[in-house]
Amino acid sequence: MKRIISAIAVALAVSVSAFAGGSAEAKPGAAKVRKVYAAHTQTYVPYDFVNDRGESDGFEVAVLRAVDELLPQYEFVFVPTSDDELLIGVESGKYNVGTKGAWVTEERKKKFLYPQNYIAASVIGITFRSADKSKISNIDDFAASGGKLVPIAPQSAQYAVVEDYNKTHAKTPIKLVPADTFVVNDAYTWVLEGRYDGFFDIKLSYLNSVTAGDGAYHKYADRLSYIPYRGIPTWPLFNKADTELAAAYDGAIETLRQNGTLTRLSEKYFGEDVFQYISK
């Protein structure tokens, strides 16, 4: 008799559990949610960083969160990491996608899957002496003045942008000299010394280094000026095998662009719509 009662109790328990959605087995036809590991750098404010509450934050992270909301078949897990570990991790498949304010390079195209749609933009322009503001108000003025530009590494996106400018301004090209190194630490002082007349600079770098009160070159803020030229798209880097995920991302980004989410987030994190600087 005890065995019969016990069997009835077990059957009732299983029935109640199934009715409440607590069955250990997935329901037939139920969609599986796949976890997506999204790596990001930790200190590249405002693109990707860890905020003072220890949370993943930044414009590109916020965009991927919005993408996640539109893709019920995926659950994004954000992983803060270093620049190098992000690249190695995405290439090896440890992470499905990574964001680091990345530009397109031929070398990266061999290692990563680029989607059709970029995620943000890096605004570039020219830092020059404030004493020259009366004659320089845009990049055309700088080119026409014959100013010398701080040398640029040929493998950088800035070099390609200046080359493109020169192709369409053959009569007044910018003097472009290749640099031996990718990073030029003394560019601001070289401009002030008159060694060069301008530095093709990332706007964010100028704001952080010169405009910000704690910037390394803030003492030169009244002697240096900046004019934006155009935006270089930044992209999420996908593992080569994640073609379906990249396609889903593309569809979601189109929706976020059309409904104004990208512009709203850009104004929140950058203080302006950075997409306006991207050439159509």
- Which residue positions in the chain have pLDDT lower than 70? 1-31, 181-183, 280
Cα 138 to Cα 210: distance, rounded to the nearest angstrom: 19
| All domains of the chain in start order, with CATH | 34-113+239-271 (3.40.190.10), 122-232 (3.40.190.10)
pLDDT of residue 280: 63
pLDDT of residue 30: 54
One-letter amino acid for residue 138 of the chain: N
Beta strands in the chain (DSSP E): 34-41, 43-44, 48-50, 56-57, 74-81, 97-102, 120-129, 198-202, 224-238
Cα 72 to Cα 88: distance, rounded to the nearest angstrom: 28
pLDDT of residue 51: 97
Query: Measuring CA to CA, which residue among 57, 31, 63, 50 is closest to residue 260?
Result: 63
Q: Is 139:201 a contact under the CB 8 Å cutoff? A: no
Distances (CA, A) of 166 to 125, 216, 276, 277: 15, 32, 22, 18
Cα 279 to Cα 273: distance, rounded to the nearest angstrom: 14
pTM, two decimals, is 0.81
pLDDT of residue 22: 37
Structure-block tokens of residue 40: 């990001």
Query: Measuring CA to CA, which residue among 121, 151, 154 is closest to residue 230?
Result: 121
